[in-house]
Structure 1
């Protein structure tokens, strides 16, 4: 199957130039040609404050006192609500006499319905600060609750990314939000993005605005010790794809349209010299610690390193963006009716986000490599491979093989077919991907309907 995978992908690539992305292929963003009046000319870096250290959760109560918070909503899910990260959080709030209430109805892999429930709860109270404890699902839910508590007349789709929603610019003043991540994957403590499964579309979408960013992310590596093996695995692959996608996204000065107002510049702007630093360092950490962190839940050094890698990649993709792995994943998750994830407390079929993202990664990067082979070869080296003798034409195949080895070593399911999909599902998956302009337009290679179908077909089996 691997031979067929390579052959089909190479056939689709033969008409592509070696590189149509000068800034990428040279590894530099210094360009002498005039910038098009239709594309952007600048990028903006935005990130939450990050405090890292074992036991740093104990400081959250003092932070809220310093903010003058009088009524705090703590947002989590029912599993995390019973674990040490939550008990340590509430212990700190109680010790510092912070008045709080708890919303623990977060849905793992949130939907529009679960977001609406959190919004209703937040609007019913007069909260002047928010605390999110959990993985990306809890943090994203808390961001949205905060947003719609600040803008009480808004409907959910008002702020959802176009063309699915109206893409309204956030002008309301949000309350301070402190995020305490318990998984090493989404990097949501650093970003202004909140993702959910929009049930009518059978695909994920989201809200993206710098205004949603947590004021502070308390990155406490002790919380990673509660992650089951599968959660550590899928979360880690989310980090890997965040870093790879942001590093290979189109450069910021090739993204269009150019904003007429700086407030209109999107959070996902394309790769840039600062985001590249975070993405590259994240990939270096993954190369050294990812497999160790999964193999031994008690390896605090490895799990601490992956917790940092998650935050690093979050800073990178939170400003550069992601592209096809994530764009395709939204339909893969939304159309799932069969797969049930191990170690996830879910009463319904569920494909964890990191799994839905990585399952197409070998095919995606083989597809994108002809446009910026140097970046793809650089990624091979950063992930522990050796690209010194690899020709540009082979960069995609080589990076796909590196990713595939990580997937196989860590027990990732063998493609979309192992998740319950077949070729008959490809049209629906493509249709669910097409509206994801926020991310798919950041890919270094534009995609037709047939291109997306080909990537999905190549991903039916991986090994």
Structure 2
């Protein structure tokens, strides 16, 4: 039997599609009372302007001149400040007579404290333009510095997502921000998200508003040739989870409530036909180029393709959103003990791409029944033959494909290898619970017990 909800959806569709002129105004003009009317009925796609090409960084100075900027803040981190990407940036600024100051104290996996340091620098400099050169940490820090320098009276928690902060909408105009990603993972160059570790609760949270989107993203694959092996692996798995989570997120028509004003529609809206296009593109790219880009760092085709996939995944998640892998990842990264991966310095850190992927097999086993066809399609796009697979096994099928990629690229054997034990699970669950916008986009409702079980199932994964 057709469900009551499907009947209501069909009647509403007929009503919307029917001619509303006086001669035919009665046709299909059904008036249906349904509690589901509070759910959203529309989605929208917004994105940063993207310019892609080998060597495109040389155009940066001209872009800033075209934007009318007079005093520019260039943000990067201590690792990048002396490398080729920054040299290309500063050469372009100098050649075009752009006045600038460099802030190179961005913290990899930033915290509220590191955000506040960057914000203070931006306020003191009274900049009218920003350039972010680096990975997601740099771009997210630069977004926050731009926001709070444009609203100097704001308290830090005013714009931070609820329930940690007040989640106020951004109403002040922001200065132009040009993002130049040097890793292939976060997609932050196209999103209105700025993520950080909130030290008080030892979990990630962030700021989410369309105004934070960079004005322009310069996607220059030349910058990826110097990315170290583990950075390439973990960044690639961030793309991996972005694509899978946005593809399987709750449909936009199931997210609610509908906004009273379209400007209040959230950045994360749920899966939709356009974000699905980007997710499919990314999964196909990962199948062809992920391993190549890691094992052959000079393979410009592979590294260029992964760089573009990261940006396209950013467009997808910047409108559809991500869900449970990211919701669980934030406390996993925030509660790091003594894990120090190669290529990430000497301080304990669980890189974001590692944190999101470590629970992915368990998560997609859990969500498989929500939409078996999409889970099987995702597995197929990643290279699995699904001809003989049952819909009832969709979650397991996708989980096994994910594990093949993780094994091939040397991902650690679960949370246990990252320093966690079963005794840590309650604290990790506590850190995940405030991630409302992510947990609510998960296509299956979850209890605290469910979250505990997912983490328990991720202690070892092979």
User: TM-score category by the smaller chain?
Assistant: over 0.9
Give the aligned partner of residue 453 of structure 1. 452
Quick one: distance in 1 between partners of 2:395 and 2:4?
15
Instruction: Confirm or deny: 8 A CA contact 1:160 1:167 kept in the other structure.
Output: yes
Within a 5 Å distance, the mapping from 1:53-202 to structure 2 comes to 53-202=53-202
Tell me, yes or no, if structure 1 residue 249 matches structure 2 residue 249.
yes
Change (3 A) 1:31 1:337: farther
Q: CA deviation at 1:32?
A: 6.9
- Partner residue, 1:337: 337
1:49 aligns with 2:35: no
Contact kept, 8 Å, 1:203 with 1:335, in 2: the verdict is: yes
* Partners of 1:363 and 1:458 within 8 A in 2: yes
* C-alpha contact 1:21 1:372 (8 A) present in aligned 2: no
Q: List gaps (5 residues or longer) in structure 2.
A: 16-31
Matched, 1:443 2:442: yes
Partner of 1:409 in structure 2? 408
RMSD: 1.8
Structure 1 residues 271-350: aligned runs within 5 Å: 271-345=271-345, 347-350=346-349
3-state SS in 2 of match to 1:37: helix
Which residue in the other structure is 1:15 paired with? none
Kept in 2: contact 1:20–1:371 (CA 8 A)? no
The structural deviation recorded for 1:37 is 2.1
For 2:209 and 2:388, the matched residues in 1 are separated by 42
Secondary structure at 2:437 match in 1? helix
Q: 1:225 is matched with which residue?
A: 225
SS at 1:417's partner residue?
A: helix
CA 1:289–1:260 in structure 2 vs 1: closer, same or farther (change >3 Å)?
same
Number of matched pairs:
439
- 1:381 paired with 2:380, answer yes
Q: Contact 1:39–1:255 at 8 Å: present in 2 too?
A: yes
Residues of 2 paired with 1:20 and 1:49: CA distance? 42
1:25-60 deviation per Cα after TM superposition (whole angstroms, max 9, x unaligned): xxxxx9779782211111111100000000000000
Asked whether 1:355 is paired with 2:331, we answer no
The match for 2:209 is 209
Q: Does 1:427 align with 2:426?
A: yes
d(CA) in 2 for partners of 1:108, 1:300: 26
Aligned residue number for residue 26 of structure 2: none
Question: Shift in Å at residue 258 of structure 1?
Answer: 1.4
CA offset digits 1:422-442 (Å, max 9, x no partner): 000000000100110011100
TM-score, normalised via structure 1 length: 0.93
Kindly name which structure, 1 or 2, has the bigger radius of gyration based on alpha carbons. 2
Length-normalised TM-score, structure 2 = 0.93
- Asked if the contact 1:21–1:444 (Cα under 8 Å) also holds between the matched residues in 2, the reply is no
How many Å apart are 1:393 and its aligned residue? Answer: 1.1
How far off its partner does 1:73 sit? 0.2
Q: Is the Cα contact below 8 Å between 1:190 and 1:217 reproduced in 2?
A: yes
What is the alpha-carbon distance in structure 2 between the residues aligned to residue 325 and residue 253 of structure 1?
Answer: 22
**1:139: Cα distance to partner?**
0.4
